[in-house]
Amino acid sequence: MSATESAASPADRPTDDSGLAAKNPAKRRRALLIVTAVFVLAAVLWVLLWLFVFSTREKTDNAYVGGNQVAISAQVPGTVVAILADDTQRVEAGQVLVKLDGTDADIRLQQARSALAQAVRGVRQQTSSAGSADAQVVAARLDLKKAEADLKRRLPLIAAQAESPEIVQHLRDGVEQARAAVAAAEAQSAAAHAAIEGTDVARNPAVMQARANFRAAWVAAQRNAIYAPVSGYVAERSVQLGNSVQPGQQLMTVVPLHDLWIDANFKESQLRHIRIGQPAKVVSDLYGGDAVFHGKVIGLGAGTGSVFSLLPAQNATGNWIKVVQRVPVRIALDNRELDKHPLRIGLSTDVTVDITDDKGSVLAGTPSQQPAAQTDVYDQMASKADAEADRVIAANLSRDGAAD
């Protein structure tokens, strides 16, 4: 290659330069169109997602499983002699959880049993006394009738001077005494009937009072056995053998894991379209996506969490920084799904509420007609006490009294 050729400048190659200059603008335009199309498509997809997905739901991960925590406590003082349930164990409603020493309660029960029996026998005695008082009234009236008859026979003899006036006066005094005896017998009869009138032996006020005392003593004796009011699982057992417990002292907790709910703490800006009755989906951290729980909104909290905190914020003092508040939204779960995938209270969850239909109510319009929780364990105890009192009364009634 000659020095002349090697020294040639780029201007000596017009063909190559003109070709590159012709191709570069076309590539730029194509690239710009592709980028623009991608952004436009992304924007359209975002708008569609917002219209059909994001705008129809509210979601939060500040949600936790809630449930009832039934505190088991003593109702009478005593010393613990047996513990029949421990942490993590399942218990059924009416099952004995803890037993207390019942020596003192048994003594008081025997005293109340004796007092009830004595009351029944005392009313029976009063009934018999009332019958005797009625018989005395009859006898006094017969005596009066006899005295009046004697006086009536003697009066004609006085007119004929065949009878002395002293005898007639004596007869008149006898009539007055007989009348006084009748009045006294009637008063005694009325007093005897006042204690038993209008009721039979079992419903006599004295017997009812003794019955109430016996019932209280029987219930107190039964309360030495501490029962589970609901079915569930034992947690936080703190009672130990030999502990001297007092009424109201918490011994353990029973947690029912059937009727659970979710407390989802939504931001105040998310509550605009949340209504009672809206469906919700719940995913727990325990099961992840393997189990999706379906529930519905049953209520919104009456205030934010900060209002009910131990130390509420004082926003009217000092410097102020706005903090977005959260309101608890309660979501009921399907018990059939809970049976398949049990949850524990306090577990973290993700909640998504479908707000497509936002025409419902924000606040409950009428009071609930169903109790939030209910047990009949203690009702059974009361009915057994009544049955035992009836047996004591029946055992101390005569056949006539029992028939009454």
pLDDT at 1: 45
Average pLDDT on 262-283 reads 93
> In angstroms, how far apart are the furthest CA atoms of the chain?
202
CA distance 234 to 177: 81
Q: Which residue has the tokens 């056995």?
A: 225
Give the pLDDT score at 323: 85
- Determine the average pLDDT of the residues in 84-109: 94
What is the Cα–Cα distance from 313 to 123, expressed in whole angstroms?
Answer: 68
- For position 345, what pLDDT does the model report? 95
Whether residue 137 has pLDDT greater than 80: no
What burial class does residue 148 get, using C-beta atoms within 10 Å of its C-beta: 0-12 exposed, 13-18 middle, 19+ buried? middle
- Which segments within 67-189 are labelled E, that is strand? 70-73, 78-83, 90-91, 96-100
Average pLDDT for residues 193-203, to the nearest whole number? 71
Whether 74 and 248 have beta carbons less than 8 Å apart is answered as yes
Query: CA angle at residue 218 from 213 to 220, to 5 degrees?
Result: 95
Cα Rg of the chain, angstroms? 47
**Which amino acid type is present at position 216?**
A
Asked whether 338 and 260 are in contact (CB, 8 A), the reply is yes
Strand locations in 318-371 (E): 326-333, 348-354
| 39-57: burial string, b at 16+ Cβ within 10 Å, e else | eeeeeeeeeeeeeeeeeeb
Q: What percent of the chain has pLDDT over 90?
A: 42
What span, in angstroms and rounded, lies between the C-alpha atoms of 285 and 281? 13
Those residues with Cβ within 8 angstroms of residue 398's Cβ, 6 or more apart along the chain or in another chain: 124
Check residue 15 and give its pLDDT.
47
The tens digit of pLDDT for each residue in 282-311 reads 999 999 988 999 999 999 999 888 888 888
The residue with greater pLDDT, 167 or 323, is 323
Residue 207's Cβ-side half-sphere holds a number of Cα atoms within 13 Å equal to 23
- Burial of 227 by CB count in 10 Å (0-12 exposed, 13-18 middle, 19+ buried)? buried
pLDDT of residue 329: 95
For 191, the 3-state DSSP assignment is helix
User: Rounded to two decimals, what is the model's pTM?
Assistant: 0.70
At 186, the pLDDT band (50, 70, 90 cuts) reads confident
